[in-house]
Amino acid sequence: MSRESPSPGDDERAARDAMAAGVEAVFQAGSNKRRRAEQSLEAQKRETERVHEDALEVLEAALKVKQDAEAEAAEIRRVAAAERAALDAEKAAMEKTYDFQRNKVHLDVGGHKFTTSLPTLTSVPDTYLEAFFSGRYPLAPDSDGWAYARSLTVCS
C-alpha cells in the first residue's frame, strides 16, 4: 500500500475544514452559553414573579390585619364611649342624690316637724315654698338645724 502525499489543495481543504469545525465549535459553545443564560434568566424571572406574588400575599394579609385591628380599635372606642356616658350619667345621678341628701331642710310648721330637701321645696316655680326657700328671705336654723322664718307671714 502506498501512501500518497497530500496535495496542496488537500491541506487547504483540511485547514478550512478544521477552521470551520473550530468556528462551529465556538458557535456551538456560544449558543450553549446563550441558551443557559436565557434559561437562567427565565428561571430568575419566574423566581422574581413568585417572590412578587408572595410579597403581594403578605401585603394583603398585613392590610387585612391592619383593617381588623382598626375595626377592633373602633369597637373598643365605641364601647369605652358608651361606658363613659353611662358612668357620667351615674355620676350625675349620684351627685343629684348627694345634693338631695346634703340639702335637707328641717321644718317646724305649727309644732309639727318635717324633714325634706331644698330641691323638693323649690321644685314647683312661682309657689309660696319656692319663693320662701329661694334665698330672698332670711332663715335662721336653731341649734338642732330646724329652720325658722323671722319675716314669714302665713295667711290662713
- In sequence order, the 6+-apart residues with CB closer than 8 A to the CB of 120 are 100
Give the pLDDT confidence score for residue 1 in this predicted structure. Answer: 52
Dihedral-angle region of residue 56 (phi above 0 means left; psi in -120 to 50 means alpha; beta otherwise): alpha
Query: Mean pLDDT of successive 10-residue segments in the chain (156 residues)?
Result: 64 84 87 91 94 95 96 97 96 81 75 81 86 77 62 42
Dihedral sign, CA of 130, 134, 137, 142? Answer: positive
Give the pLDDT confidence score for residue 96 in this predicted structure. Answer: 79
Instruction: Give the domain ranges of the chain.
Output: 10-101, 103-156
CATH fold for domain 103-156: Potassium Channel Kv1.1; Chain A (3.30.710)
